[in-house]
């Protein structure tokens, strides 16, 4: 079934502008086909690839790396180890991001507990304020310490 760029945009959640950009950057697994009047036509497999491509982008894979992956895939059999290495490197990158986000989440949870505690005790005015706090000028305050230090 042929799909218009508008239909692909609606179904993929990507803008028409982004779809055109992806085409210019060579990020489609298959070349985008055009009708005799120049209108782009897409197929279901294009939507399937866009779903994967969107996840790769949202996980931090660069356009250049996605392009490299696509170029390897287009070459066909024989370079599966290269593709696997590329995917493993990105998997390692994503795992590192997750570890960092876990640490960030713990810091945020600590800050929420500090604020909840101060608000519950009616002492919100004692929370750190960089423009009015002696503690801020001294570089110390309970709110700023990482979990376990407060």
DSSP per position, the chain: --B-HHHHHHHHS--HHHHHHHHHTT-SSSPPEE-TTS-EEB-HHHHHHHHHHHHHHHTT--HHHHHHHHHHHHH-TT-HHHHHHHHHHHHHHHHHHHHHHHHHHHHHHHHHHHHHHHHHTT-GGGS--TTT-HHHHHT--GGGSPTTT-
- The CATH architecture to which 1-76 belongs is Orthogonal Bundle (1.10)
pLDDT the model gives residue 126: 83
Q: How far apart are CA 134 and CA 50, in angstroms?
A: 53
pLDDT the model gives residue 144: 54
pLDDT the model gives residue 149: 44
Domain regions of the chain by residue span: 1-76, 79-150
- Residue-by-residue pLDDT tens, the chain, 150 positions: 899 999 999 999 999 999 999 999 999 988 899 999 999 999 999 999 999 999 999 999 999 999 999 999 999 999 999 999 999 999 999 999 999 999 999 999 999 999 999 999 998 888 877 765 455 455 445 555 544 444
Report the predicted TM-score, pTM, of the whole model to 2 decimal places.
Answer: 0.72
């Amino acid at each position: 079934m042929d799909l218009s760029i508008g239909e692909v945009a609606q179904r993929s959640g990507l803008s028409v502008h982004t779809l055109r950009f992806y085409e210019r950057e060579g990020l489609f697994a298959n070349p985008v086909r055009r009708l005799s009047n120049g209108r782009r036509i897409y197929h279901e497999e294009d939507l399937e690839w866009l779903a994967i491509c969107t996840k790769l982008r949202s996980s931090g894979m660069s356009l250049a790396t996605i392009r490299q992956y696509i170029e390897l895939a287009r070459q066909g059999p024989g370079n599966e180890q290269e593709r696997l290495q590329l995917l493993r490197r990105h998997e390692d990158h994503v795992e590192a991001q997750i570890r960092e986000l876990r640490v960030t989440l713990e810091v945020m949870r600590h800050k929420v507990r500090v604020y909840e505690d101060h608000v519950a005790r009616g002492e919100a005015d004692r929370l750190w304020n960089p423009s009015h706090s002696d503690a801020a000028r001294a570089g110390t305050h309970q709110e700023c310490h990482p979990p376990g230090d407060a």
